[in-house]
Amino acid sequence: MVYDYNTQRKRMALPEYGRNVQKMVDHIKTIGDRNERNRAARTIIQIMGNLNPHLRDEGDFKHKLWDHLALIANFDLDIDSPYPIPEPTKFVEKPRQVPYQQGNIKFLHYGRIVELMIDAASKLKDGDEKEYLTTLIVNQMKKSYVTWNRSQVADEVIISDLNYLSGGKLKITEGVKILEVKELLPQAKKKPQGKTQNKQQNKHYNKKKGHSRH
């Protein structure tokens, strides 16, 4: 007996449409009459739309289906498509390289965003806006430090790091309070003890009550 496994069949360009759609597309390639091919292609488009109704939420739904039909047919289907047939080379293009910021981060636990914020604040003129932004940065630095290292940190360490990263351009105004760790990080909610204790007492009472029946 010869078994027909999917691994032995022709590879499908878009498996989400299934093997039957692939067979229908392969079949209409063999239809000699052009009008008949066009009619069969429109029928397949309707079937493809019913198989993937989620595509209806996307813009230009019909255009996408006709592009998929061309892809399933390996761009070898002579029909009158209502849309330009996509170029095969577009499906083999390498993705564009994502530009990354060059340079080393001085303190990994603070991250590059904090360094950029410090650079931006350092360029501001002295005043309320600069002081306010500096306070926000210091609290964010403390939060990042504790989150990364999972330990307490003295405010003097954060202030020293701020002075280093800003080249001495940012300073904490006298009287400004740096938030405590419990104010910066969300605290785990404790389970109410009353309900648990009542359940244990009821369980103990029911156990004694059941024991007295024997």
Which bin fits 103, alpha (ψ -120 to 50), beta or left (φ > 0)?
left
Furthest CA-CA distance within the chain: 92
Task: Note whether 85 and 115 are same-domain residues.
Answer: no
Residue 203 lies in a domain: no
pTM for the full model?
0.44
Residue 18 lies in a domain: yes
- Give the structural domain span for 143: 111-184
The C-alpha atoms of residue 88 and residue 118 are separated, in whole angstroms, by 48
User: What Rg, from alpha-carbon coordinates, does the chain have?
Assistant: 34
| Domain endpoint, select from 91, 122, 154 | 91
Number of domains making up the chain: 2
What's the confidence (pLDDT) of residue 46? 92
Residues 110-160 pLDDT 10s: 888 899 999 999 999 999 999 999 999 999 999 999 888 877 888 899 999
The C-alpha atoms of residue 23 and residue 57 are separated, in whole angstroms, by 27
Task: Note whether 115 and 83 are same-domain residues.
Answer: no
The C-alpha atoms of residue 166 and residue 172 are separated, in whole angstroms, by 12
Residue 22 lies in a domain: yes
Task: Note whether 84 and 34 are same-domain residues.
Answer: yes
Task: Note whether 119 and 176 are same-domain residues.
Answer: yes
Residue 196 lies in a domain: no
- In 3D space, the residue among 142, 144, 143, 122 whose CA is nearest the CA of residue 133 turns out to be 122
Residues 160-214 pLDDT 10s: 999 999 999 998 888 788 888 887 777 666 666 655 555 555 555 555 555 544 4
